[in-house]
Amino acid sequence: MSKPKKTQCNNLQISRPIASPIRRNHQRNREICFGSSLLPTMRMEEGQAVPSNGCVRKRTAAPPPSSERKYKSMEDIMRTAKPASPLTEDYYSDVLCQQCRLGKEEDKIILCDRCDMGYHLYCLRPIVSRVPTGPWFCPSCNDAKTVRTFPLMQKSIANFFRIRKCTNEPPKENCGPWNGGRKRRRRSVFLGSQKKKRRLVSFSPSKDPNQRLVQMASLATALTSLKMEFSNDLTYFPGMAPSSANAAILEKGGMQVLAREDKETVELCRSMYMRGECPPLVVVFDSCEGFTVHADEDIKDMTFISEYTGDVDYLKKREHDDCDSMMTLLLATNPFHSLVICPDKRGNIARFISGINNHTPEGMKKQNIKCVRYDVDGRCRVLLVACRDISRGERLYYDYNGYEQEYPTEYFL
């Protein structure tokens, strides 16, 4: 700012400052004054409209292109690209199993769809019974999560298994088979005239409620790890086989009918399960075989263990399914009417019972459960029953090939 300059007006001296010119910064962004278009404006040298209040309104304009680089189209790339050499059998001729480092039995080696590493079916843990039809990833590429234990809370377990309280509940100290005070009627038979028939026996739950809570929590842990829901019944969903397709009369060669006394035993066990009185079984995770079932109490011969449950579907639709726990429900004369149980989304403890090795004498000796199909009120049902006395801590096994020799068990432990 310069010194004030004195001027003379009507014999009066007035001092006024002389302003120095202000530099205009054209690089600076001008403020936008909204609604200023309604105010009277005046012209600037740059040709921009400026409101009388001094606010500058910036005009909108398309931003300059960020880059002038042009990309080739896919047609141009494919026109100039060289064809890749096709894969031949020699490409996989030197593939070795990453576990045993051997290349024998090439038909038993499966390749990872991500890293192309090979593994024998029997070298994997848990063992893979057959070559998967869909994508398969090796243990290194498969981000397998650790088994998360189900919370040991009575309310959570009751909600998961949909346990209902019964008003006529038996005393806790006498926990066990209970039929509401009804007594079975004995049939009078002539001694020596009829062969004694073996009848089903209902299971005896553990007397300790906390122990039963641990048993059910172990089953809930296994089901939730496989993202399954608990279901103690056969389920029929749209797009699968309807309930009317489950007709025992269609069985090839006929199906044995479940006796009335055995049916009462099965219904008794089902009602016990709905009250939270589960069979004395615990599900244990094994690093070699996956989830397995062990007896938590001594189990007598001919004790009803469980019914095999899951979604019912036609066998023809599941011929190329990756589910390794499908159970035959109906073998019809017409193959298109045959049914299977698929416990991949819904099921119970029968889903985790191990199978024996049909190719070794030691494997045959392990069997302590038998799988039997019955005609119950005209419907096919699969029951698992103890075929001998089972000691506490013993693992449960049954024959996966009881009806058809279709399941590969030669590599079972």
Closest C-alpha to 298, from 180, 204, 235 = 204
Which residues are registered as beta bridge partners of 398? 355
Task: Kindly give the pairing relationship between strand 310-314 and strand 327-330.
Answer: unpaired
Same domain, 292 and 393: yes
% of the chain at pLDDT higher than 70 = 70
Question: Per the structure block, which two tokens stand in for 230?
Answer: 């608990």
Backbone angles phi, psi at 180, to 5 degrees: 70, 25
Which residues are registered as beta bridge partners of 354? 397
Task: Indicate the number of domains in the chain.
Answer: 2
Question: pLDDT band at residue 143, thresholds of 50, 70 and 90?
Answer: low
Question: pLDDT band at residue 197, thresholds of 50, 70 and 90?
Answer: confident
What's the CA gap between 177 and 205, in Å, rounded?
Answer: 8
What's the CA gap between 386 and 300, in Å, rounded?
Answer: 7
Answer yes or no: is 16 within a domain.
no
% of the chain at pLDDT higher than 90 = 43
- Identify whether the C-beta of residue 309 lies closer than 8 Å to the C-beta of residue 343: yes
Question: Per the structure block, which two tokens stand in for 329?
Answer: 């429900």
pLDDT above 50 (res 38): no
What sections of 17-138 are H helices per DSSP? 74-80
Answer yes or no: is 186 within a domain.
no
In this prediction, residues 300-318 reach a mean pLDDT of 95
Same domain, 108 and 164: no
pLDDT above 50 (res 37): no
Same domain, 236 and 166: yes
For 334-346, give one letter per residue: b (16+ CB within 10 A) or e. eeebbbbbbbbeb
What's the CA gap between 15 and 12, in Å, rounded?
Answer: 10
Distances, alpha carbon 399 to alpha carbons 285, 354, 384, in Å = 20, 9, 11
Last residue of one domain, picked from the residues 99, 123, 144: 144
Same domain, 126 and 168: no
Give CA angle at 73 (72, 75), nearest 5°: 125
Give pLDDT, residue 127.
76
Judged on CB neighbours under 10 Å (0-12, 13-18, 19+), 236 is: middle
Same domain, 217 and 132: no
pLDDT above 60 (res 57): no
Answer yes or no: is 79 within a domain.
no
Closest C-alpha to 383, from 353, 408, 339 = 353
- Identify whether the C-beta of residue 129 lies closer than 8 Å to the C-beta of residue 324: yes
- Identify whether the C-beta of residue 406 lies closer than 8 Å to the C-beta of residue 286: no
Residue 97 DSSP class: B
Question: pLDDT band at residue 386, thresholds of 50, 70 and 90?
Answer: very high
Residue 279 DSSP class: -
| pTM of the model as a whole | 0.68
Q: Encode pLDDT of 111-121 as tens digits.
A: 888 888 888 88
Which tops the pLDDT comparison, 357 or 252?
A: 252
Judged on CB neighbours under 10 Å (0-12, 13-18, 19+), 4 is: exposed
SS3 per residue for 337-405: HCEEEECCCEECHHHHCEECCCCCHHHHHCCCEEEEEEEECCEEEEEEEECCCECCCCECEECCCCCCC
CATH number of the domain that residue 272 is part of: 2.170.270.10
Task: Kindly give the pairing relationship between strand 354-355 and strand 397-398.
Answer: parallel
Same domain, 239 and 134: no
Last residue of one domain, picked from the residues 101, 120, 144: 144
Answer yes or no: is 266 within a domain.
yes
Give pLDDT, residue 359.
75
What's the CA gap between 390 and 201, in Å, rounded?
Answer: 14
What's the CA gap between 328 and 314, in Å, rounded?
Answer: 10
Same domain, 166 and 109: no
What's the CA gap between 127 and 121, in Å, rounded?
Answer: 6
Answer yes or no: is 30 within a domain.
no
Same domain, 388 and 259: yes
Percent of the chain as helix, strand, coil, to the nearest 5: 20, 20, 60
Give pLDDT, residue 94.
74
Same domain, 214 and 100: no
Give pLDDT, residue 205.
96
Give pLDDT, residue 173.
44
Give pLDDT, residue 46.
47
Question: Per the structure block, which two tokens stand in for 402?
Answer: 């009881």
Give CA angle at 339 (335, 342), nearest 5°: 140
Question: Per the structure block, which two tokens stand in for 110?
Answer: 């499966």
Answer yes or no: is 388 within a domain.
yes
Question: pLDDT band at residue 156, thresholds of 50, 70 and 90?
Answer: very high
Answer yes or no: is 404 within a domain.
no
Rounded to 10 degrees, the C-alpha dihedral 174/177/182/184 comes to: -130
Same domain, 369 and 225: yes
Three-class SS of residue 251?
strand
Q: Is the dihedral of CA 281, 301, 265, 377 positive or negative?
A: positive
CATH number of the domain that residue 123 is part of: 3.30.40.10
Containing domain of residue 100, as a range?
Answer: 90-144
Same domain, 225 and 370: yes
Answer yes or no: is 165 within a domain.
yes
Same domain, 122 and 213: no
